[in-house]
């Protein structure tokens, strides 16, 4: 019953991103409102057409991505800088905590992104002092990201995340609950398949991998490459620019400078630790929570409420982006560790 919205009055990147966030959340709510059992095959024209138009204008896919849920979904609640989300899905305070803690991880990465640009400039200038300082700043930023990620325990309830929030972040590619994808009415007669939101869509980790010359195994690398299609195009271009730039690793190796090697290895070690800690978080919020949900399915539910329905099971072993979660996370953690330069 929603009127078909016109996208022609949207002005500028911020309005387009806000529209994409709103249409993404309406779409996720519409698709998953009845849980895995009652998924729809068709997204109605009055939602699908404006969503497709905004997505095309931004160069983003028509599904809720990391760029929507986290990067475009925050506002200042008061002059003290306290943050709040703009749009919420089911999950209450835990969803708010999940979005804002993830945002704080991104914010902690900002000095590291700036350090990448300085490091690449320093290599071209053969300025070892500036390069050393940039690598120290990068390592410090990655360590700060791990600190920010620890706050997840304070703000997100594992049961709420697993049984309520996670389904609304799920996509319709590599998802047994929606094997055929989704028809965007008025856009395509054929169903289209898109991956759900995933931390693998975060630009910062791709940028750090490219700078440090981390080589992931073939299947993991292929999945990460596919996730780049879910980034805003300027982010994707930034990551590809680093890929084409001069090799930091080769420069450190050929310099024979022990200080540079130590600073480089501190970056790789910090990134390995961050990925190890991410595995700890995923274990708590997905595999342990899944086991508890399974046990709960065997018993009569003691309480009503949004999680009193059947907990989702289609993605028990997979991430919302569709990857086999533990083999993928362990593989990228191990290949990161292999990026260390031995003395």
| Helices 92-125 and 203-212, packing angle to 10 deg | 30
Token readout for 273 is 């630790």
Please state, in angstroms and as integers, the Cα–Cα distance from residue 118 to each residue in 133, 195, 228, following that order.
9, 34, 23
CA dist 341 and 11 (Å) reads 48
Residue 278 marked in a binding site:
yes
183-184/42-43 β-pairing: parallel
Beta bridge partners of 192: 182
Spell out the alpha helix ranges (H) of the chain. Answer: 12-32, 45-58, 66, 92-125, 128-149, 152-155, 158-160, 166-168, 203-212, 218-227, 233-244, 248-255, 258-282, 289-298, 325-337
Identify which of 331, 330, 283 has the alpha carbon closest to the alpha carbon of residue 161.
283
Q: ∠ at Cα 325 (194, 36), nearest 5°?
A: 55
Handedness of CA 321, 315, 109, 71 (dihedral sign): positive
3-class DSSP assignment, residue 43 = strand
| Residue that has been written with the tokens 């200080």 in this structure | 259
| Residue that has been written with the tokens 């399974």 in this structure | 294
Residue ranges for the known binding site for heme b are 278
Residue ranges for the known binding site are 278
């Amino acid at each position: 019953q929603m009127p078909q919205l016109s996208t022609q009055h949207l002005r500028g990147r911020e309005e387009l991103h806000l529209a994409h966030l709103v249409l993404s959340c309406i779409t996720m709510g519409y698709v998953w409102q009845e849980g895995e059992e009652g998924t729809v095959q068709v997204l109605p024209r009055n939602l699908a057409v404006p969503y497709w138009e905004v997505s095309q204008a931004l160069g983003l896919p028509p599904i809720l991505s990391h760029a929507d849920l986290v990067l475009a979904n925050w506002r200042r609640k008061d002059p003290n800088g306290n943050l709040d989300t703009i749009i919420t899905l089911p999950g209450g305070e835990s969803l708010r905590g999940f979005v804002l803690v993830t945002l704080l991880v991104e914010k902690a990465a900002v000095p590291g992104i700036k350090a990448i640009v300085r490091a690449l400039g320093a290599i071209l200038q053969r300025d070892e002092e500036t390069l050393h300082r940039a690598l120290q700043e990068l390592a410090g930023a990655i360590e700060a990201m791990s600190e920010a990620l620890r706050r997840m325990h304070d703000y997100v309830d594992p049961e709420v995340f697993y049984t309520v929030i996670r389904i609304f972040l799920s996509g319709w590619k590599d998802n047994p609950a929606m094997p055929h994808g989704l028809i965007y009415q008025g856009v395509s007669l054929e169903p289209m398949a898109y991956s759900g939101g995933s931390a693998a869509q975060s630009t910062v980790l791709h940028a750090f991998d490219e700078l440090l010359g981390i080589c992931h195994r073939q299947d993991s690398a292929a999945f990460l490459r596919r996730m780049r299609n879910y980034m805003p195009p300027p982010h994707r271009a930034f990551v590809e620019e680093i890929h084409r730039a001069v090799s930091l690793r080769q420069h450190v190796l050929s310099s024979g400078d022990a200080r540079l090697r130590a600073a480089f290895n501190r970056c790789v070690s910090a990134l390995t630790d961050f990925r190890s800690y991410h595995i700890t978080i995923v274990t708590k919020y997905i595999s342990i929570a899944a086991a508890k949900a399974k046990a709960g399915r065997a018993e009569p539910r003691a309480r009503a409420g949004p999680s009193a329905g059947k907990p989702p099971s289609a993605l028990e072993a997979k991430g919302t982006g569709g990857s086999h979660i533990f083999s993928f996370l362990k593989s990228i953690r191990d290949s990161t560790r292999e990026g260390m330069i031995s003395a």
